[in-house]
Structure 1
Amino acid sequence: MTRNLFALSFGFVALILAVQTGHAAPQCAARDTVTGQLAGKYGETRRGMGIAANSTVMELYASDASGTWTITVTLPNGMTCLVASGEGFETVVEELPASGAPA
């Protein structure tokens, strides 16, 4: 179930990237620059990561203090692009349903 959710999430990230590429210039820079600004301006730290399509790395950054969050994708060439951001971040810890139990 968790793998399916991650796969679905990465599919949405790819879709978002495709839509953003068609409508606006993506906001990309060197990874150190992006992560430095997320930490410095917004107090965001990395909360999760995974491998997405085409060997890209998806990362979720968030701040407990401000509630802001940002999703980035780092391309194989080292450039990191902002995919989405927002407010109201909340860490959720849920137990997985028992194996074979309906969701």
Structure 2
Amino acid sequence: MKRTIALSMMLAALGGAATAQNNACAPRDQVVERLASKYGETRQSMGLGSNNAVMEVFASDETGSWTITVTMTNGMTCLVASGQAFEELVEVLAVPDSDA
């Protein structure tokens, strides 16, 4: 919770910050720079969501901190969630047996 509040205050201080659906938002380049400089986080994964929004997971291998962002088509990036104890997993998902 403290980290979410800190990230919200950080984005508000960036200037030009906006609020969308109670999430702190700012231009993507500013968000990415701050996640890197303040938390040591780099992009770990990404995906395309509804309305062509880009979801990204940033994390630090050193501290285990992580942040999930969503970037809208207008270039604004909003913080969705953040936390600690990030681990990269490589798992093969089991395919359900359709004969059962």
Task: Tell me the TM-score normalized by structure 2.
Answer: 0.72
Q: CA shift at 1:96, angstroms? A: 2.9
* Matched residue type, 2:61: D
Equivalent position to 1:60, from 57, 64, 78:
57
| Mapped partners of 2:32, 2:25: distance in 1 | 11
Structure with more strand by fraction: 2
SS of equivalent residue, structure 1 residue 58: strand
* Matched residue type, 1:27: A
Specify the alignment match of 1:92 in structure 2: 89
Equivalent position to 2:79, from 79, 82, 102:
82
| Percentage identity across paired residues of the two chains | 56
Q: CA shift at 1:70, angstroms? A: 0.3
State the Cα deviation string for residues 9-36 of structure 1 (Å, max 9, x = none): xxxxxxxxxxx82xx3x21111000000
Deviates more, 1:86-95 or 1:69-78: 86-95
| Mapped partners of 1:101, 1:81: distance in 2 | 40
| Mapped partners of 2:55, 2:45: distance in 1 | 8
Q: What is the RMSD computed on CA atoms of the aligned residues?
A: 1.7
The runs of at least 4 aligned residues of structure 1 exceeding 6 Å deviation read none
Specify the alignment match of 2:66 in structure 1: 69
Q: CA shift at 1:101, angstroms? A: 3.7
SS of equivalent residue, structure 1 residue 32: helix
Task: Tell me the TM-score normalized by structure 1.
Answer: 0.70
State the Cα deviation string for residues 47-70 of structure 1 (Å, max 9, x = none): 110111111000000011000000
